[in-house]
Structure 1
Amino acid sequence: MPMTTTIHERPLLTPRNAGVRLAPAETELLQQAWTATAPAERPTAGDGPAVNRVLNAWYGEARNFAADRAVAQQLAGLAPALPVAARHARRSRHTALRAAFSAGVSQVLDLGAGIPTGDGDPLPGTVHGRDVRAAYIDQDPVAVAALRAAYARRSPLVVAEAADLTAPGPLLDGLTGRGAFDPAAPALLILSLILHHLADFQALHLLGVLQQRLAPGSRLLVTAFVADPFPADVRDRLTDWYPAAPQLVLRTAAQTSALLHDAGWPAPARAVQPGLYTAALRHPIGGPAA
């Protein structure tokens, strides 16, 4: 049965709980994110655990609640590979950012960015003389507030917005109109731990629109939880317990690869490690990205 633990606390502001660490400036950023979140958007007593905060607990960060930590521990006990996969996905994201900037890509579109971690993004002010643009998108208003506190104050070209990823056309149009995205310039597109939240038709639409709208020279990083190698009973329990609405979609690595292929992104068909699919691709398709 899904967890129904009730939250009766604000986010941690001190490292009192075993296993939860505060990275440098984490306390300050957490307080800023909480203050910047409108009262109507803040988690209240009675809210259940949230995916972003469960991931945050797996990262060893402090922006989470007791209910989130309880679910994180329960899921880790059921499938120990899952939190390891989440941490690997986070590292892959940082690696892709550094590689893209080294190659001269000067804008980032992070769809489903989640709560920023204490180490932050390697986000320079300029790349090869061009100002860096970055758009962090998430549906969770608390994550958006934390993203704004961590990144948006760096530059007017760095924004954090709440948006529906199942409507990518209007999202890109809005970002373009505000000068936060240049469709004529190469971009790094990040879909980190997102596809397993989308039904097939939603994933195909998102990937297809992005494939059509990104400029040549762009890069795509995809990471997603996959069913390999969990037994069927474990997959069912993960789906029941994972705090996502709609439910977690645990495809196999081959099925995830097929989605990418069908949307015009030929990609490898294997999981890089248990429970995680990763693909780093170039656009137009010219082989894997470095």
Structure 2
Amino acid sequence: MADRNPPGGVDVSTPNSARIYDYMLGGKDNFAVDRAAAAEILNVFPESREGARANRKFLGDAVRFMARSGIRQFLDIGAGLPTQDNVHQVARQEAPDARVVYVDRDPVVCVHGRAILASDAGVSMVEADLADGEKVTAGASETGLIDWSQPLGVLMAGVLHHLPDPYDQVAKIREAMAPGSYLVISHMTVQESRRGDTDVVNDTFTTPRGGGLFPRTVEEIDRFFGDFERLDTLDFIEASVLRRFAALGWGGVARKP
């Protein structure tokens, strides 16, 4: 596959998680360094490509559930590159008036996202890092699309395992959410039986400039929901899928009472 000329400011010498995910999903917004990193991941976790698709399906099913439950505003934190079945596209299949704000810390991802979404008045892209939860909430409000006094759906799909200790930041987001809101999380897991393989993946994402991954146990991931009411994960992910990808990732949905 020949790479097209990268947009200005894009570092094509270092793997990028958003572009690796795009490649795993069959997208075209990736470069040779991302495909090489994906090959390393697939070597130790051959189920990774299928896992990326399962994660995307989980995200879509959660969005459909929230839209059917009356949610009309969505905040996708750590959204990455626009790809297939984006949140606004899925939500509007159920609720044409749904509003969506995407958040990412990568400025190049945000520029790309804004260019793709520019013609849609009900969708916006905000550059902010979840490490600064207050900036995320403020940036979402400034778009005019998110009203924190009303229930909303907040998605953190595949983002928390990129941060070493984001519990306080997630708690700030939870505190800002109105009762009746939903929180959706998918996260890379770690199991002792596959720890060596997980370390290989971590090395792939670790660069001289920092980065790396922080996979967690299911119990540690569940802590991100705080005192929210957990919904049955099996309503969103089939038991066979949970078993197949237990060493790779886990996801859950919870509602603020």
How far apart are residue 74 of structure 1 and its match?
A: 1.4
RMSD of aligned alpha carbons: 2.7
Paired residues, what number?
242
SS in 2 for 1:153: coil
- 1:195-234 correspondence runs (5 A): 195-200=160-165, 203-228=166-191, 230-234=193-197
SS in 1 for 2:148: coil
Letter in 1 for 2:92: P
1:85, 1:225 within 8 Å by CA — same for their partners in 2?
no
Residue 64 (structure 1) aligned with residue 30 (structure 2): yes
SS in 1 for 2:211: coil
2:68, 2:94 within 8 Å by CA — same for their partners in 1?
no
Deviations 1:77-127 (A, max 9, x none): 111233322221111111111111111110010000011214443242994
Q: Distance in 2 between matches of 1:43 and 1:254?
A: 36
- Identity over aligned residues, as a percent? 26
Q: 1:99/1:229 Cα in 2 relative to 1: closer, same or farther (>3 Å)? A: farther
Q: Distance in 1 between matches of 2:33 and 2:193?
A: 25
2:103, 2:136 within 8 Å by CA — same for their partners in 1?
no
Q: Distance in 2 between matches of 1:68 and 1:104?
A: 38
2:128, 2:135 within 8 Å by CA — same for their partners in 1?
no
- 1:36-75 correspondence runs (5 A): 39=8, 41-43=9-11, 47-75=13-41
Letter in 2 for 1:82: S
Residue 246 (structure 1) aligned with residue 211 (structure 2): yes
In the superposition, the TM-score normalised over structure 2's length comes to 0.83
SS in 2 for 1:281: strand
What corresponds to 1:23 in structure 2? Answer: none
1:49, 1:243 within 8 Å by CA — same for their partners in 2?
no
* Greater gyration radius: 1
Pick one of 153, 159, 163 that aligns with 1:188: 153
How far apart are residue 178 of structure 1 and its match?
A: 3.6
What corresponds to 2:74 in structure 1? Answer: 108
Deviations 1:204-236 (A, max 9, x none): 112211111101111111001101365232222
Q: 1:266/1:251 Cα in 2 relative to 1: closer, same or farther (>3 Å)? A: farther
For structure 1, list consecutive stretches of 5 or more residues without a partner in the other structure.
Answer: 1-7, 12-33, 285-290
Letter in 2 for 1:108: F
SS in 2 for 1:173: helix
Q: Distance in 1 between matches of 2:111 and 2:55?
A: 22
Letter in 2 for 1:173: A
How far apart are residue 58 of structure 1 and its match?
A: 0.6
Query: Quick check: which one's helix share is greater?
Result: 2
For structure 2, list consecutive stretches of 5 or more residues without a partner in the other structure.
Answer: 234-238
* Higher mean C-alpha displacement, 103-112 vs 113-122: 113-122
- 1:110-189 correspondence runs (5 A): 110-120=76-86, 121-124=89-92, 127=95, 131-155=97-121, 157-189=122-154
Letter in 2 for 1:104: G
SS in 2 for 1:191: strand
Deviations 1:134-174 (A, max 9, x none): 1100112232233223334211x311121111111132123
In the superposition, the TM-score normalised over structure 1's length comes to 0.75
Q: Distance in 2 between matches of 1:266 and 1:204?
A: 17
